[in-house]
Amino acid sequence: MSYFFQQSLNALQLGSIYALIALGYTMVYGILRMINFAHGDLFMVGAFFCFLAATVLHFPFLPTLLVSMAGVAFLGVIIERLAYKPLRQAPRVSAVITALGVGIFLENLILAIDPYPKHVPLLIGNTTWDLLGVSVSSLQVLIIALSLGLMLMLDFIVRRTMVGIAMRAISWDKTIVPLMGVPVNLVISITFALGAGLGAAAGTMYGLAYPVIDPYMGIMVGWKAFISAVVGGIGNIRGAMIGGFILGTVEILVVAYFPSTYKDFVSFALLLVLLIYRPYGILGKPQTQKI
Amino acid sequence: MRIPCSRNIKFLVLIPGGWLLCFLIPRLGILNPYVQLVFIYVGINIILATSLNLINGYMGEFSVGHAGFMAVGAYISSLLTVRVIPASWNPYLFPFALVAGGMGAGLVGLIVAVPSFKTRGDYLAIVTLAFNMIVKSVIENIEAIGGPRGLLGMQKMTTLPWVFFWTVVSIWIIRNFVYSNFGRGVLSIREDEIAGELMGVNTRRVKLLGFVISSFFAGIAGGLFAHNLQFINPRVFDILKSTDILIMVYLGGVGSIAGSIIGAGIYTLLLEYLRFLKEWRMVLMPLLLVFLMLFRPRGIMGLREFKGFVPQYYLSAVELWLARRKKEDVAPSH
Amino acid sequence: MSLLHIKNLTHYFGGLCAVNDFNLELESGELLGIIGPNGSGKTTVFNLITGVYRPTGGSIRFRDREISGTRPANITMLGIARTFQNIRLFNNLSVLDNVRIAHFGRTHYSPLEAIFHIGRYQAEEERITDHSLDLLDRFGLADHAETEAKNLPYGMQRRLEIVRALATNPSLLCLDEPAAGMNPSEIQKLMDFIQRIRKEFSLTILLIEHQMRLVMGICERLKVLDFGATIAEGAPEEIRANHKVLEAYLGEEAAE
């Protein structure tokens, strides 16, 4: 029984990280109808920024987190302006291929700069408590709490601020919104910045929790987060959060009760099944096309 | 009515001539082995690019996991030559092993075609990428075929003549398919699937055919690849390899066989030429892809085709029709 | 037995009722018009007949055979063809190829014969090309056979769309706003064109149209839709004076 609770805690931790990254995918899809395949690699860059801030600049935890989030947010905006904005009217193939290209570019750039996996130093004292037979670490609590906090903040931004309303309006109808005086490009950049920033936060926390990072880590994690977004309903913010936790749970369950090498396979199989039977996910609505 | 033309003769001379050349080159040591190797890679890449172009270029779909089919073909043909066929028979049964790999890949292509009935665009891209990952994941989990460590021990049976042969065959078959009823069906899916369906095109059948042919040849390329490198592991066939193939297609030109040849040729040669950049080579390549998408998304050839690949009766369709009409006026059927 | 028999046809998009209890008995050789304000469900009816959607309720019988829920390609092979409100040609393909594609269902060679160019391939290709060019020639498009469809002038594009539909050898032709964007003299030519193909190809024609000149000029019978429901039907003269129809159209009628 305590094994179950232990794994539940692990699932919450992993799920929070997936959820944070999934939010980036879902927000960009909601506003631009494009899947930013490079997003997983932004997560990876976030982890590397965290590493740099910690080892080179010797920042403690909070500044490291902020530096990483700000840096990747900025990077996200640059990528959007240079590579995605020119393709907004282009056929979807171009955007997909471009996103793939950007992602691979980022991976190989980091690889070329320094190919060896890095070890992220522990920036937070990690104490473990024993709660009814379950070992809980302060790091785990921090990750889960921080993720939930960031998600609540995002939810607030999306629901209660002008920026959030603009984001939701654009995802409903892109043509009308600029006619109402909304600076669409600015809102899109802010969306990218938010999504990338959350991804970077996830990267930082991932770096602290599983301290060895390498340039290819974004691929698998990015895919899992993407699957989370699809599970919840791509374009739907609450869906991304729910999807993240679902996928974290699925993965931990597979690892707990099956050979761990199956975990990727199960996640992808889940994706395929979903795409065939319910492509709009849990909270999504079927899209009808006017013919 | 067939037109006797100098075209057919040109091809009838060029192709056996080229094949003969491929035999002579290694024997007479005309080119150094490194250059021969590069040509072998160019050939394999042409097969990959042309087969992917059938789906992405002609059909306008979003298949971004082509390396998965390659993997299936590579593994099946390698397992046959290494574990099933006695070593001395291998050189004679090599083409059959390749075809077996191709058929296995074709079968998998059939499976991937099914989601394409209902999904398009981004979603199909995801499905094909996920499938690429699944193939890799499945291979990694099967210890019996080497798991993550891979498979080795293949005999080096991929020679210049074999590569030439299979390159010519794949180009010929795909070109024949494109300039036929089914090929027109493929094009109608790209242009306007619903209109095509409403004009009587059985889009399901066409998609199945397209995916099977495309993946079959990817499997052949995989087999050739495996028997050249003499070692394969799942990591070779991941998203990076798929991206390589995508670059070749979009560089050379979508919906154009000549485009695939050009794209494969330029990309392979560029990759070799830029070897001195080491890791930065793979930083430059995706950048090249992004540039292509931004400034020339249809590639060098665009949608145009080299006239030599278009059948004569397509090029002179109207003249031939007029000639047939005139014949009928002279000798009316009633 | 009527050619097309539609009973209680209903279709919902989610919670929105697009077609509400549509009924039709169409005899062979008739020319019937479906009119109504924008969004009244006319194109949806076409989409239901041609198999693009599976109806939420009701039945569609063509030659006494239930076709609702059948795949569009099969319905086309049974003899129903259509054109579209917004022209849907195969833009990057030549005029000739646009028409040749319509022969897909009636081509008699297998994929194997196709990839090796053996067997019946050559003969069938000639037959298809001849038939396509003959058809194009009949309607003055043969000179443009090699032009890409997107480069044709608008009027020719509309004509090509109809020729392409004719190439599928239909008994029932559904024309969706063929006169859109045309001036009065073009509309007159279109009216003659429709009458001509009706006679030469022994067609039954269903016509959706907003241009009253065309509708009143050639339709024998009319059905009027508004918000998915049929609000009137009958001969053009009756419809012209019908109070409910005037109400539904109000502004548009005044503009004619």
Query: What pLDDT does A206 receive?
Result: 92
Is B7 inside a domain boundary? no
Chain A: nearest CA to B225, how far in angstroms? 23
pLDDT for residue A281: 82
| Domain ranges (residues) in chain A | 2-277
Is the CB of residue B286 less than 8 Å away from at least one CB of chain A?
A: yes
pLDDT of C142 reads 93
* Residue B16 or B69, more confident: B69
Question: Chain B, 53-92: which have a CB under 8 Å from a chain A CB?
Answer: 56, 60, 62, 64
For the cut 50, the answer to whether the pLDDT of residue C143 exceeds it is: yes
Q: Output the CA–CA distances (angstroms, integers) from residue B60 to B54, B56, B103, B260, in the order listed.
A: 8, 5, 24, 15
What are the pLDDT digits (tens) for A218-273? Answer: 988 998 999 899 889 888 889 999 999 999 999 998 888 888 788 888 888 888 88
Query: pLDDT digits over B114-126, tens only?
Result: 888 887 777 788 8
pLDDT at A92 over 90: no
pLDDT digits (tens, 9 = 90+) for C173-200: 999 999 988 889 989 999 999 999 999 9
Q: B64: domain range?
A: 33-329
Lowest mean pLDDT among A40-49, B46-55, B299-308, C220-229: B299-308
Q: Which residues on C lie below 8 Å from B313 (Cβ)? A: 125-126, 129
Subunit contact A98:B293, Cβ cutoff 8 A: yes
- What secondary structure letter does DSSP report for C10? E
- R_g (Cα) of chain B, nearest Å: 21
Residue A126 is predicted with a pLDDT of: 77
Determine the pLDDT at residue B1: 42
Q: Which two tokens stand for residue B18?
A: 């080229």
Q: Which of A117-126, B84-93, B150-159, C170-179 has the highest mean pLDDT?
A: C170-179
The verdict on a CB contact (< 8 Å) between C130 and B321 is yes
Contact A288 C13 (CB under 8 A): yes
Which chain A residues are within 8 Å of C45, Cβ to Cβ?
none
Asked if the ipTM is above 0.85, the reply is yes
C-alpha distances in Å from residue B283, one per residue of B67, B269, C14: 20, 17, 48
Domain count, chain B: 1
Contacts of B among chains (3+ CB pairs under 8 A): A, C
> Is B187 domain-assigned?
yes
A280 in contact with B, Cβ within 8 Å: no
Is the predicted pLDDT of residue B5 greater than 60, yes or no?
no
Q: pLDDT digit string (tens) for C146-166? A: 999 999 999 899 999 999 999
Residue B148: CATH number of its domain: 1.10.3470
Distance (Å) of CA A178 to CA A32, A159, A190: 14, 20, 16
Q: Is residue B25 part of a domain?
A: no
Which has the closest alpha carbon to C2: C28, C21, C35? C28
Query: With bands split at pLDDT 50, 70 and 90, how would you rate the model's confidence at C255?
Result: very low
Q: Is C237 exposed, middle or buried (0-12, 13-18, 19+ CB in 10 A)?
A: exposed
Q: Which residues of B touch A254 (CB under 8 A)?
A: none
Interfacial B residues in 308-327 facing A (CB < 8 Å) = none
- Asked, for residue B5, whether it belongs to a domain, the answer is no
Which of the following CATH numbers is that of domain A2-277: 3.30.390, 2.40.10, 1.10.287, 1.10.3470? Answer: 1.10.3470
Interchain pair C73, B1: CB under 8 A? no
The residue that leads in pLDDT, A280 or B142, is B142
> pLDDT tens digits for C121-134?
999 999 999 999 99
Which residues of C are less than 8 Å from A289 in CB distance?
Answer: none
Strands A118-119 and A212-213: antiparallel
pTM above threshold 0.95: no
List chain B residues with CB under 8 Å of A101.
243, 286-287, 289-290, 293
- Please report the pLDDT score of residue C198 as a whole number: 95
- Rounded to whole angstroms, the Cα distance separating C181 from C203 reads 25
C52–chain A Cβ distance below 8 A for any pair? yes
- Write out chain B residues lying below 8 Å of C95, CB-based: none
Q: What is the pLDDT of residue C148?
A: 95
Q: What is the pLDDT of residue A33?
A: 85
Q: A183 — phi, psi (to 5°)? A: -75, 90
CB pairs under 8 A between A and C: 5
The three state secondary structure string of chain B is CCCCCHHHHHHHHHHHHHHHHHHHHHHHCCCCHHHHHHHHHHHHHHHHHHHHHHHHHHCCCCCCCHHHHHHHHHHHHHHHHHHHCCHHHHHHHHHHHHHHHHHHHHHHHHHHHCHHHHCCHHHHHHHHHHHHHHHHHHHHHCHHHCHHHCEECCCCCCCHHHHHHHHHHHHHHHHHHHCCHHHHHHHHHHHHHHHHHHCCCCHHHHHHHHHHHHHHHHHHHHHHHHHHHCEECHHHHCHHHHHHHHHHHHHHCCCCHHHHHHHHHHHHHHHHHHHHHHHHHHHHHHHHHHHHHHHCCCCCCCCCCCHHHCCHHHHCHHHHHHHHHHHHHHCCCC
Give tens-digit pLDDT for B205-231. 999 999 999 999 999 999 999 999 999
Computed over every residue of chain B, the mean pLDDT equals: 89
Residue C33's beta-bridge partner residues? C207, C222
Does residue C251 carry a pLDDT above 60?
Answer: no
Cα B167–Cα B173–Cα B178 angle in degrees, nearest 5: 125
Mind listing the domains of chain C with CATH numbers? 4-79+170-255 (3.40.50.300), 92-154 (no CATH)
Chains touching chain A, criterion 3+ CB pairs below 8 Å: B, C
Q: How confident is the model at residue A291 (pLDDT cuts 50, 70, 90)?
A: low
